[in-house]
Structure 1
Amino acid sequence: MAQRSRVRCGHGRLVALAVMAGSLVMTGAPGASAKGAAGVRPPGDGDTPMCRLTAGPFQRQVEKDLGLPQDGEQSEQDCAAIRKLQNTYGISPADGYAGLVSHRAAVVDWATRHKATLTGCAGRSRRLVCVDQTHQLLWVQQDRKIVFGPVPARTGMPGHRTRNGSHRIYRRVEKFWSSLYDAAMPFSQFFDRGQALHASYRPIFEDPGSHGCVNLRYEDARRLWSMLHVGDGVTVWGTREGA
């Protein structure tokens, strides 16, 4: 039976559904500039969304993270690469548009390929969970070697910030239920006054942020649960960008 508590980092179902709908509108909005046609291009598959040829607000950042020419303008090559990224991370619509959601996915993609260069995580614990709020990433170091991740994370929204600093896991509940938000928080690992690492059923890149917890995709949270213990360190730094 799931344990219940009035912790303050769950997520409301109605709010999540409304925001998810709004996020799809946001990621599909037209950009300011474009290379070639400023509309859409048939992708050659009737079951696939049309390919948007307008530049998104995060065009240059996404181009950089994906190793594309950084001209800030959308090309067919850019659109194909961004659509591939969107399909990999389950982003809908997969239309090649460089919005905030795709920007967050591109950061994860870059970090996965360059994890030896990740910085910012320091602590005294032999096994250390690293939460980079600026880039919305989580990974685990053991004896300074990355042994898990990086994976995408969703930290606190304005007014419910995930608290920066050095912490330790003090409680673990595999099947946790937040009565305050009437929401499941599977694989909860609490590290600071009710804030926890836990699985979320919402798409991980969507806004708003959490109510203070560090949300993870279900499989990532399950894998993290299997490798951590009470007493392991958690280091949090940075600030979440977006709504």
Structure 2
Amino acid sequence: MGDIRRRRGIVALGLTALVTPLTLALGAGTAQAATCTTGTGPYQKQVEKFLGLTVDGKQSVTDCKAVQAFQTKHQISPNSGYAGPVTWSVMDLMIKQKAVGTNPNKDGKCPTDKGRIACVNLTLQLSWIQDGSKLIYGPVPVRTGRDGYETRTGLKKIYWRDIDHVSSLYNNVPMPYSQFFDGGQAFHSVDKSMWSPPGSHGCVNMTKTTAAKYWDLLRNGDDVFVYGRKPGT
């Protein structure tokens, strides 16, 4: 299993709201596709509004480049600048995530009688840590199992932690800050966008920053509750 290094000390964390920028700068470092479509997509107006563009429902060179940059940033393929259903579904999810604010358990679906618990809302692709009804960290966007590899729902417990885990199942892929809670399914960091479709192979993917916070805040035996259904599964 390798050495498991535990981080110790007191971690002071305030309430962290999900922040999702709704505009994108087209920087020089942004990779672009070879061609940019001239076609107007079925979600043209919605995408234009999301990106802060002129909302006229007609594809322009400016529109295409902005949509293309968004697609490249979040690994949406093809990244041709077309305002199609996949691109809009990512944007729509971002809007819904931001609307949650600092009250992710408003519906009361994640148990408040378990003490410290990590909650995962598959429907909104959000996770957070709470203690009773008190929010400790989050909510933060996560990337869960794609169709056919769904993250399993229900009440679980963290049973194994490996900060430098490497997957033996998926071609020795690094899985930093792994905290396993259901068979091979774990919280761990990935080096990609949390909104990159179609999703993981069942794990709850996180940014490195989020995964490190979860590592500091959780321990073996802590509860994890997964509920809802990921869009598209």
Both structures adopt the same fold (TM-score exceeding 0.5): yes
Contact 1:168-1:191 within 8 A present in 2 as well: yes
Q: Give the superposition deviation at 1:157.
A: 1.3
Whole-Å separation in 1 of the counterparts to 2:67 and 2:196 = 21
**Identical-pair percentage:** 33
The structure-2 alpha-carbon separation of the partners of 1:29 and 1:136, relative to structure 1 and needing over 3 Å to count, comes to farther
Q: Which residue of 1 aligns with 2:202?
A: 212
Q: Give the superposition deviation at 1:108.
A: 2.1
Q: Which structure's residues are more often helix, by fraction?
A: 1
Tell me the SS of whatever aligns to 1:147: strand
Matched, 1:129 2:118: yes
Contact 1:130-1:140 within 8 A present in 2 as well: yes
Matched, 1:195 2:185: yes
Q: Give the superposition deviation at 1:124.
A: 4.2
Tell me the SS of whatever aligns to 1:117: coil
Contact 2:112-2:132 within 8 A present in 1 as well: no
Unaligned residue ranges in structure 1 (runs of 5+): 4-20, 53-82
Matched, 1:232 2:225: no
Q: Give the superposition deviation at 1:112.
A: 2.6
Q: Which residue of 2 aligns with 1:101?
A: 90
Contact 2:102-2:139 within 8 A present in 1 as well: no
The structure-2 alpha-carbon separation of the partners of 1:123 and 1:115, relative to structure 1 and needing over 3 Å to count, comes to closer
Mapping of residues 7-156 of structure 1, within 5 Å: 30-31=41-42, 34=45, 36-40=56-60, 42=62, 49-50=65-66, 91=74, 99-112=88-101, 114-115=103-104, 117=106, 119-122=108-111, 124-156=113-145
Q: Give per-residue Cα distances to partners, 1:115-163, cap 9 Å, x unaligned.
A: 4635321164210110001111101111211111110111111221111
For normalisation by structure 2, the TM-score amounts to 0.66
Aligned partner letter, 2:150: R
The structure-2 alpha-carbon separation of the partners of 1:180 and 1:117, relative to structure 1 and needing over 3 Å to count, comes to same
Q: Give per-residue Cα distances to partners, 1:10-63, cap 9 Å, x unaligned.
A: xxxxxxxxxxx99xx9xx9712564535123748xxxx94479xxxxxxxxxxx
Q: Which residue of 2 aligns with 1:167?
A: 156
Aligned partner letter, 1:196: A
Tell me the SS of whatever aligns to 1:189: strand
Unaligned residue ranges in structure 2 (runs of 5+): 4-31, 46-54
For normalisation by structure 1, the TM-score amounts to 0.64
Aligned partner letter, 1:39: Q
